[in-house]
Amino acid sequence: MPQPQELRLADGRVIELRFSPVPGHGMVNTVLERTERRALEEALVHSQKMKAVGQLTGGLAHDFNNLLAVIIGSLELSAGQPADAAAGRRIARALKAAERAAQLTQRLLAFSRKQSLLPGQSLVIDAQPGVWHAWIDPGQLENALINLVVNARDAMQGRDGDIHLCIVNERVARSSGKQQEMVTLEVIDRGCGMTPEVRAQVFEPFFTTKAVGSGLGLSMVYGFIRQSGGKVELDTAPGQGTRGRLQLPRAPARALAPPQTLPIVTASEAERLVLVLEDEEDVRQTLCEYLHQLGYLTIECAGGEQALRLLRQTPEINLLLSDLMLPGTLNGADVIRQAMQQDTALAVLLVSGQDLRHQVDGALPFCERLAKPFSQQQLAQALRRAWQRSVTTRRRNG
């Protein structure tokens, strides 16, 4: 029997042709509309690719931030201290972590195949006066803009000209009908532009039109902006250039308040016992030294089951500080949930090398959170908030 054939029409519709022979009577031809099914299949494939990229980048971010936590923590602990044996150990930890970070960077460069840059275009920045602050990770935004500008440069195919970066305030109507204040960044070039076929695939992981490149740049831009509550748009046509738009949510007023300088520890918090759950030894040692300088006592462990046993056996523990990613069947979120079932007013702090701000509701327990890498002052502030949350819960429970 002849195999079905699929055709994509000029207007974007997809039809399927089926041919069924009827003995002695010729052939029955069936035409089926498959546009919606094909769109759903392509959306599924796209989501699977994005999931794979998310797992890849999430693991890299976790490893990198653990390395940076050791480097920043060890050097901060050594600042202003005499060069004794303890300082030597801290510096050795920092150097070891830096070497691991350098090796990981080399793997990333090998994966992305670093390209040489050819000058010939100018970047013109046009920022609206009084532009708002955006609620966005600055390092990730920098990478997104570099991706868009490099793509604009490549699209100009070596011709001289200007690439424009425009920054404006906008009030955007959301699907709910509400207005949302956004900061919009546009990267505009007058290069070769994209065909509709290329435009349809440009945000897919591993898709690239370049001889050198991983095809991950724009897919990472898309994932980062969407995760941050923003929107990505491309307006492009062959021979007419490209306008890339990043719409970023405006930062809330509370985020712009100057950080408060808190005392390292109050008298009531002195000598409180903290259980530190972290599987990487160097990160755990750095955390414990931070806590010791802040005036706390510590107990260390590397696994979730051990942490729960220590909590049951040691009622003197006042706070649980846990990493999110742990070996074994229990992650940090699981440990905190079980610990809070045993003691609803236990002070808890969840730390992670991943971005904890945009997790799906219910994926993490309702507790204080802190993203790696962090400074000693940021840790002190997070501990203070955890204590305050615990005190409020105890009062509410009577």
Please, where are the H alpha helices in the chain? 35-78, 85-112, 138-155, 196-201, 217-227, 281-294, 304-313, 332-342, 376-397
The last residue of one of the domains, among 54, 85, 112, is: 112
pLDDT at 106 over 80: no
CATH number at residue 321: 3.40.50.2300
pLDDT band of residue 227 (cuts 50, 70, 90) is confident
* One domain, residues 264 and 387: yes
Q: For residue 103, give the nearest of 72, 60, 55 by alpha carbon.
A: 60
pLDDT band of residue 223 (cuts 50, 70, 90) is confident
Which letter, b or e, does each residue of 120-129 get, where b requires 16 or more Cβ atoms within 10 Å of its Cβ?
ebeeeeeeee
* One domain, residues 29 and 47: no
Residue 280's CB is within 10 A of a number of other CB atoms, namely 20
* One domain, residues 75 and 161: no
pLDDT band of residue 59 (cuts 50, 70, 90) is low
The last residue of one of the domains, among 93, 112, 131, is: 112
Q: Which CB contacts under 8 angstroms, 24+ apart, belong to 338-345?
A: 338/308, 339/307, 339/308, 339/311, 340/365, 340/367, 342/311, 342/312, 343/311, 344/393, 344/397, 345/390, 345/393, 345/394, 345/397
**Predicted pLDDT of residue 87:** 76
Q: For residue 150, give the nearest of 210, 92, 90 by alpha carbon.
A: 210
What are 247-262's pLDDT values in tens digits? 999 988 766 665 554 4
Domain that holds residue 94: 38-112
Query: What percentage of residues in the chain have a pLDDT greater than 70?
Result: 79
Say how far apart CA 31 and CA 161 lie, in whole Å. Answer: 50
Query: What percentage of residues in the chain have a pLDDT greater than 90?
Result: 24
The number of folded domains in the chain is: 4
Span 317-326, average pLDDT: 92
> 87 vs 186, which has greater pLDDT?
186
Say how far apart CA 161 and CA 274 lie, in whole Å. Answer: 59
Pull the structure tokens for residue 376.
């000693």
Calculate the alpha carbon distances from 325 to 281, 302, 386 in Å: 14, 11, 20
* One domain, residues 280 and 341: yes
**Predicted pLDDT of residue 345:** 81
pLDDT at 360 over 80: no
* One domain, residues 365 and 294: yes
What are 158-214's pLDDT values in tens digits? 788 899 999 999 998 877 778 889 999 999 999 888 888 888 888 776 666 664 444
* One domain, residues 264 and 391: yes
Span 291-300, average pLDDT: 92
pLDDT at 139 over 90: no
pLDDT band of residue 217 (cuts 50, 70, 90) is low
**Predicted pLDDT of residue 361:** 42
Backbone angles phi, psi at 294, to 5 degrees: -80, -10
* One domain, residues 42 and 171: no
Contact 74, 90 (CB under 8 A): yes
**Predicted pLDDT of residue 53:** 60
The last residue of one of the domains, among 255, 272, 292, is: 255
Say how far apart CA 383 and CA 304 lie, in whole Å. Answer: 21
Mean pLDDT of the chain: 79
* One domain, residues 147 and 177: yes
**Predicted pLDDT of residue 334:** 93
CATH number at residue 100: 1.10.287
**Predicted pLDDT of residue 72:** 80
> 291 vs 268, which has greater pLDDT?
291
pLDDT band of residue 76 (cuts 50, 70, 90) is confident
* One domain, residues 134 and 248: yes
Q: Which helix (H) or strand (E) element contains residue 324? A: none
**Predicted pLDDT of residue 165:** 93
- 10 Å CB burial of residue 81 (0-12, 13-18, 19+) is exposed
* One domain, residues 392 and 328: yes
Pull the structure tokens for residue 102.
């350098």
Amino acid identity, position 47 = S
* One domain, residues 251 and 180: yes
- 10 Å CB burial of residue 27 (0-12, 13-18, 19+) is exposed
pLDDT at 378 over 90: no
* One domain, residues 175 and 218: yes
CB-hemisphere CA count at 13 Å for 129?
Answer: 0
**Predicted pLDDT of residue 208:** 67
Backbone angles phi, psi at 5, to 5 degrees: -120, 140
pLDDT band of residue 116 (cuts 50, 70, 90) is very low
CATH number at residue 143: 3.30.565.10
